[in-house]
Structures are given as structure tokens and as C-alpha cells.
Amino acid sequence: MKNRYICILMLNFYKLNSGYLKFKGAERLDLINRLSTNEVKTLTGFETAKTILTSDKGRIIDLIEIYNFGDFVFSSCSFNNSANVIAHLDKYTIMDDFTAVNFSGTYSTLFFTGEKYSEFFSEITGTDCNDLKEGKFRVTKFHNGLITINDDPMGGVKLIFPNDDKVYWESRIFSEEIISKYQLSEIDEKDFEIKRIRLGIPAFGKEMSEKTNPLESGLNKYVSFTKGCYIGQEVIARLDAYDKISKHIVGLNIDGVPDNADEQYKISIDNKECGFTTSIIAEENNKSIGLGFVKTIFLDYNKEYKIKLPKGELNCTINKLPF
């Protein structure tokens, strides 16, 4: 019998944790546009974009991805941050025709990366995905799935679907036939985190926080400098115009592994405090890598830095991203 799966396509997947929201009202896009860094009010139906909600001091509230369905906007945000996003939007909603609904816990996201994902998605969703492009999304033919290209350096494609249809999607995606045909395998949490760190992709609560702004966190591509006012715009525009970014996100190569990799540690050079760590993960040979922020005046990619622990210190070097 002829082997129908002789062509191995190889795909990896990861279960992303996200928050979800729905924006309604005639001024939904206009309000998001006035409160965030990117141009979104020009989005037409089935277009998507990422934009950053910032405080009046230019600090990061969250990086959200919005999907314009025409008569409403669906949005994903960081895990466990939906309520905070809604509170921020409500703070600046006065007479606007706008309502935000928290959909967290009602949707799931699977992230896929690998070869020939268009064939895979076309087969499992019944939707032609061969011409799917960045900035667009598709609604699947069956069971209300949403397909979009991931636009950060990790690439790949995301499938978002209602938890009410989870049994359908999991039985379809993880059938023996599909797993065999596409050599489908799961990326474990550690490998995903290593890849995220090496690519310099900021994570909420770590590289994206009330301590950082979008320019410091390397999120410039989601900031428009031509669209006009938004909350925090004056601060961010001034930092850019006068080249006054006080600290920069950097990669860390660390000699050793701290006892608590989730803790934030101070970084120093020549006995002077110059920054802090945000993400650390162990690799092989008692080494670890991470992300952190170093003050601009102390940036030197040829020098050795110290990470200050409660007891002792670790040597490290800093790297431009990705590394």
C-alpha cells in the first residue's frame, strides 16, 4: 500500500495563555486609537494590528492585539490582565459610545510554527489559508476559529477558538492522522521561554511593566509617531525626539544559575548599579540566559557585568537582541 504521508511537513505547537476582550460601540476603534500607541482607527474588516496601552507617564499597561470584525472588535491581551485593561479603558471613557467586555476564560490560543503551515490550517479548518498575510486574519469555515499570522520575531500562526468548541478543535488537530502527517509536536514551556528570551520578545509583568516604556522594551514597531495624540504620547515622543531613552532592553549571558530565576536582580558594572534583570532561564553547563535593562550611559557590549544576588554575585555579559 502506498504511504500517503511520505512527505513529512513538521509542525510544532504551543498553548499560549492570553486574556480576551470584546469592544463594542460606534466609537470603539476611535477610542482605542486615542488611548494607544499605534494607528488602528483605519483598520477595515478582518484586519488586525497590535498596539500598546500606556499610562500618562508613558509606562506600559499592556500590548494588545485587536481584530476588527466590522461591527465589533475582538482583542487578546496578556494573561490575567483583562480586568486591568478594562479598568484603564474605563478611566478614559467619558461620553464615548464604547463598551469593553471581559471574555477571558472563554477562548484558547494555539501557536504553531514550522514548515508549510498553510496546508495544515487549510486541512484542519476547511479554510483556504495559502494567501494569509500579516495584518489580516481569517475566520474558519467551521466552529468559529480565528487564524492570524504572529508578527513578532518568533513568526508562526495562531489559532484562537471558543472553549465551547475546544473538544471539536482538539479532536481535529490532535488526531492520530494529523499528528502523523504533519509530525506535530508540542514545544515545552522551557524551550518556548528560551526562544522568547533569545529573540528579545518582551513578556508582560517582566519586560513590559510600570517600570518600562515601549521604546525601552524594543516595541518601536507598535508605536506610530505620525498619528497624533494618545495617552502617554508626549512622554514617548520627547524620548524619541531628543534621544533620551534612559535604559535599553538587552540579552544576558550569565555564568551560573541564580536560586530563584523569577526574582528581579540588580545589575552592576565597576561597582555601580546600572540596571536590573527581568527574565532568566537555565541552560546547560551551569549557565543561564536572560533579559534585562541597562541604563544607556552604562551600555558596553565588550565589558563584564555583575548580577547581584542575596548572597554573592554572578558574572554576565550583555548582548544586542536577538542573540
* Choice between 5 and 268, residue whose per-residue pLDDT is larger: 268
- Is the pLDDT confidence value at 264 over 70? yes
Q: Say yes or no to pLDDT of 6 above 50.
A: no
Contact status, residue 115 vs residue 11, Cβ threshold 8 Å: yes
Closest alpha carbon to 159 in 192, 210, 117, 193: 117
φ, ψ of residue 316 in degrees (nearest 5): -155, 160
Max CA pair span of the chain = 71
User: 140, 123 in Cβ contact below 8 A?
Assistant: no
Tens digit of pLDDT for each residue in 183-231? 999 999 999 999 999 999 999 999 999 999 999 999 999 999 999 899 9
* Cβ atoms 276, 292 nearer than 8 A: yes
Instruction: Locate CATH 2.40.30.110 in the chain.
Output: 211-319
According to DSSP, the residues that pair with 15 across neighbouring strands are 110
Task: With cut-offs at 50, 70 and 90, classify the pLDDT of residue 5.
Answer: very low
Q: Are strands 146-149 and 157-162 parallel, antiparallel or unpaired?
A: antiparallel
* The pLDDT value given to residue 118: 86
Q: What span, in angstroms and rounded, lies between the C-alpha atoms of 81 and 104?
A: 9
Cell of 290: 536572560
Specify the DSSP class assigned to residue 287: -
Per-residue pLDDT band at 117 (split at 50, 70, 90): confident
pLDDT-based confidence at residue 267 (cuts at 50, 70, 90)? very high
**In terms of pLDDT, which residue wins out, 41 or 117?**
41
Residue-level pLDDT at 1:
35
pLDDT category, 9, cuts 50, 70, 90?
low
Cell numbers at 226, concatenated = 505620525
Amino acid at 37: T
Residue 86 reports pLDDT greater than 50: yes
Which of 272, 274, 252 shows the shortest CA–CA distance to 261? 252
Residue 56 has what pLDDT?
Answer: 96
Residue % of the chain over a pLDDT of 70: 97
Helix, strand, coil percentages in the chain from 3-state DSSP, rounded to 5: 20, 35, 45
**Does residue 3 register a pLDDT over 90?**
no
Q: Give the Cα separation of 31 and 34 in Å (integer).
A: 5
Q: What percent of the chain has pLDDT over 90?
A: 92
CATH domain 15-210 topology:
Gyrase A; domain 2 (3.30.1360)
Write down the pLDDT at residue 8.
53
Place of cell 460606534: 26
Res 21: pLDDT? 98
Q: How far apart are CA 185 and CA 179, in angstroms?
A: 8
**Domain boundaries for CATH 3.30.1360.120 within the chain:** 15-210
Q: Where are the beta strands (DSSP E) in 56-98?
A: 60-68, 73-78
- What pLDDT is attached to residue 188? 96
Round to the nearest angstrom and report the end-to-end CA distance of the chain. Answer: 47
Residue pLDDT, tens place only, 131-186: 899 999 999 999 999 999 999 999 999 999 999 999 999 999 999 999 999 999 99
Q: What is the mean pLDDT of residues 72-91?
A: 98
CATH architecture of 211-319: Beta Barrel (2.40)
User: What is the pLDDT of the chain when averaged over all its residues?
Assistant: 95
Using a 10 angstrom Cβ sphere, with 0-12 exposed, 13-18 middle and 19 or more buried, the burial of residue 52 is buried
* pTM passes above 0.85: yes
Residue 275 has pLDDT above 90, yes or no: yes
Helix (H) or strand (E) holding 84: helix 82-91
